Amino acid sequence: MAIAIKTQDEIDRMKVAGHLAAEVLDFIAPHVTAGCTTGELDRMCHEYMVDVQKVIPAPLNYAPPGYKPYPKSICTSINHQVCHGIPGDRVLKGGDILNIDITIIKDGFHGDTSRMFCVGEPSIQARRLCEITYECMWKGIRTVRPNSTLGDIGAAIQQHAESSGFSVVKEFCGHGIGRNFHEDPQVLHYGQRGSGAILQPGMIFTIEPMINAGKAAIRELADGWTIVTKDHSLSAQWEHTVLVTADGFEVLTTSPGMPNPPTL
């Protein structure tokens, strides 16, 4: 595993890309309402990214090995959809929970972040799942510092999720990011403390736990992209892009409208 150490110039460019990705989520937040379709959300985000921010939507036509090109500019995953949901004619209704995943390219560098949204008043379980998943992400982020390990991140997330009665999706993980959408390392959201690669200043990667209200098992839909829970239980995900600094971490995907970090 060759984990890139970013130069200061690359870090500065990643900060710009990260802020822009987060600002898309701020922009779309007021539009996540009952009666709106996920396709409309995609259209609005696409126009904002391309026409206002002058950036490239990274998911559009993205085709990793074994996949057909992704057809939209954002990912929208509703209720039991775990990740990579394709926007379309689905109409949001009260009680839905929705993950919107944004990745943009600015001057050749990627910014990647996602956020959960509640449509109207969700169930108690749905709201708790979103809150615990947010805490899981931050539990992982707060382990990041030089000489800690990737396993420390996964262990912190897994412990908090499972002690809350939820399960961790293991087939998908965080990833290094920079000039490429996906780079080394893979950042698992489960694992053993002290295991895996040792973190060094200048590393940049995403932490993006997918947490299920029921069992961890998942399956892929026929569209070749959308992942859902096998038992149809709710799933939630949050994502930030994180820089390892000389004395800790810096979250690169911040914006004025992002939720405050939890007090844990």
pLDDT for 257 equals 96
- Alpha helix stretches (DSSP H) within the chain: 8-28, 38-47, 124-141, 150-163
| Contact criterion met (CB below 8 Å) for 40 and 48 | no
Q: How far apart are CA 178 and CA 105, in angstroms?
A: 9
Residue 254: predicted pLDDT: 97
CA distance 215 to 54: 41
Cα distances (Å, whole numbers) of residue 203 to 115, 144, 185, 249: 23, 10, 9, 10
- In 3D space, the residue among 174, 177, 151 whose CA is nearest the CA of residue 6 turns out to be 177
Backbone angles phi, psi at 52, to 5 degrees: -95, -55
pLDDT number for residue 2: 85
b/e sequence 164-202, b meaning 16+ C-beta within 10 Å? eebbbbbebbbbbbbeebebebbbbbbbeeeebeebebb
pLDDT of residue 98: 98
The pLDDT of residue 1? 63
Q: Residue 182 has what pLDDT?
A: 96
Contact indicator for 158, 189 with CB cutoff of 8 Å:
yes
- Per-residue model confidence as pLDDT tens for the chain (264 residues): 689 999 999 999 999 999 999 999 999 999 999 999 999 999 999 999 999 999 999 999 999 999 999 999 999 999 999 999 999 999 999 999 999 999 999 999 999 999 999 999 999 999 999 999 999 999 999 999 999 999 999 999 999 999 999 999 999 999 999 999 999 999 999 999 999 999 999 999 999 999 999 999 999 999 999 999 999 999 999 999 999 999 999 999 999 999 999 997
Q: What's 8-60+73-251's CATH class?
A: alpha beta
For the chain, the domains span 8-60+73-251
173 phi and psi angles, rounded to 5 deg: -150, 170
Buried b (16+ CB within 10 A) or exposed e, 220-238: eeeeebbbbbeeebbbbbb
Determine the 3-state secondary structure of 57 from DSSP: strand
Q: What per-residue confidence (pLDDT) applies to 264?
A: 74
Please report where in the chains the tokens 């893979």 appear, as a residue: 186
